[in-house]
Amino acid sequence: MSIESGEEVVKAIRILGLMIVFDSCKNISVVLFDKNIDFNKVFKLELSGTLVKFFATLFLSLYLESFLGIVYGTLLGYFSIFIMSYVLSNSRPRIELDIMKAKIILNYGFWIFLNSVASYLMFRINELFILKFDGIEELAIFQLALFVSIFARDSISFIQLRVLFPVVSKYQSSIKVVNKIFITNFEIACLIYIPIGTTLFILSNELVHVFFDSNWQDIASLIPYLSIAGIFASFTGIIESFFKGLGMPRHVFLFSIISIVILILNINLIFGYGPMEISMSILIASISHFFLIFFYYVKFAKMKVKNFGLRSLIIFIGACTPLFVLTICGFLVDLTIASNLIFCLFLSFFVYLLFLFLLQKLFHLKTIGYFL
């Protein structure tokens, strides 16, 4: 690395430090936007930062012809959110000492922090094993496969979980209402995540063949495991939001630790250290994590199988429609041809919506009504 490039890296690190300052100093009252389910203000706050970041990064990158343009643009995005947090909120933070409130917040925040660490480890432990035993090339393949497997799911689940947490918090005093919200969100999750995950599962080879070059063909063997693991991880995330909304983050952390232990045991004692073996370990850990936390919540909330009923079963079957359509398409046409693949994807999506529409008309399912 040259002296000039080294100086630019140091400058970038200093600027990144300012981002932390701006983010820490924004109006604390913005948390009330979520609590009061005021997503109009949430949208304005985040949109302001996104737009400023996008246009500033684009202009400064072209003007400076350096990666520092991205750094400066991101800094301006954080600064914009810092300013808008005070513009959109009428309240102003002030110093006030309340020992009881501080204990409650610190207790809750402590478990949230530990769970964040556990979630981070869940991702990074896999990469550490691959980097140590297989090298950086295998790590790159694994990371790309993971990105493809969870990108669409995470983009959607971020929105769902962002809405779910304040709603559960609002109605936490009534477990019956919370359980209704739980079932509805679980059904919505089926309608969203099962089609995405199963599509990646059945078309992994075709998607990789069409959209990636020959250097990345190995990710096709990993995507099926990671995409199904992603479905279970999405369901787990929903249940975790309920525990957090009910003021029980400790349970979320404990089940995350159990999942990490299962993952490590699978890697070291059963499968091995390669990308394929670690992908299989992730799948087993994700399934175990989901069933453990799901049955615990069902027991905690005193729910019964009849609470889900025939409606949930119909929705689950409906969510598998794209899988059936794409399986038939695979027998009829060559899906490694881009035009055939794209046509079949659109066809499966159209048939899926049509099937959901018919289910809605026949059974008057409120959840599908929300989805459509």
Same-domain check for residues 126 and 22:
no
Hey, what amino acid is at 175?
A: I
Same-domain check for residues 32 and 166:
no
Q: Are 252 and 290 in contact (CB under 8 A)?
A: no
Same-domain check for residues 195 and 316:
yes
Same-domain check for residues 144 and 53:
no
Residue 48, both tokens: 């302001």
- Local confidence pLDDT in tens for the 372 residues of the chain: 444 456 777 778 888 888 888 888 888 877 777 767 676 777 787 788 888 888 888 888 888 878 788 888 888 988 998 898 888 887 777 777 777 777 777 777 888 888 888 888 887 888 888 888 888 889 889 988 988 888 767 767 777 777 788 888 888 888 888 988 898 888 888 888 999 999 999 999 999 999 888 888 889 999 999 999 999 998 999 999 899 888 888 889 999 999 999 999 999 888 888 899 999 999 999 999 999 999 999 999 888 777 777 778 888 888 899 999 999 999 999 998 999 999 999 999 999 989 888 888 777 766 665 555
Within a domain: residue 222? yes
Same-domain check for residues 83 and 154:
no
How crowded is the C-beta side of 56, counted as CA atoms within 13 Å? 18
Same-domain check for residues 37 and 167:
no
User: What's the first-to-final CA gap in the chain, in angstroms?
Assistant: 54
Task: Compute CA distances 213 → 202, 206, 209, 220, 369, whole Å.
Answer: 19, 12, 7, 12, 41
37 backbone dihedrals φ, ψ, rounded to 5°: 55, 40
Within a domain: residue 101? no
360 CB-contact burial (10 Å; exposed 0-12 / middle 13-18 / buried 19+): middle
- Residue 319: name the closest of 248, 231, 245 by CA: 231
Within a domain: residue 104? no
Find the domain containing 10 and state its range: 3-94
Q: Are 192 and 177 in contact (CB under 8 A)?
A: no
Same-domain check for residues 43 and 136:
no
What domain count does the chain have? 2
pTM of the model: 0.81
Same-domain check for residues 157 and 211:
yes
Within a domain: residue 107? no
Same-domain check for residues 208 and 261:
yes
- Residue 164: name the closest of 88, 240, 256 by CA: 240
Same-domain check for residues 57 and 129:
no
Residue 102, both tokens: 């501080």
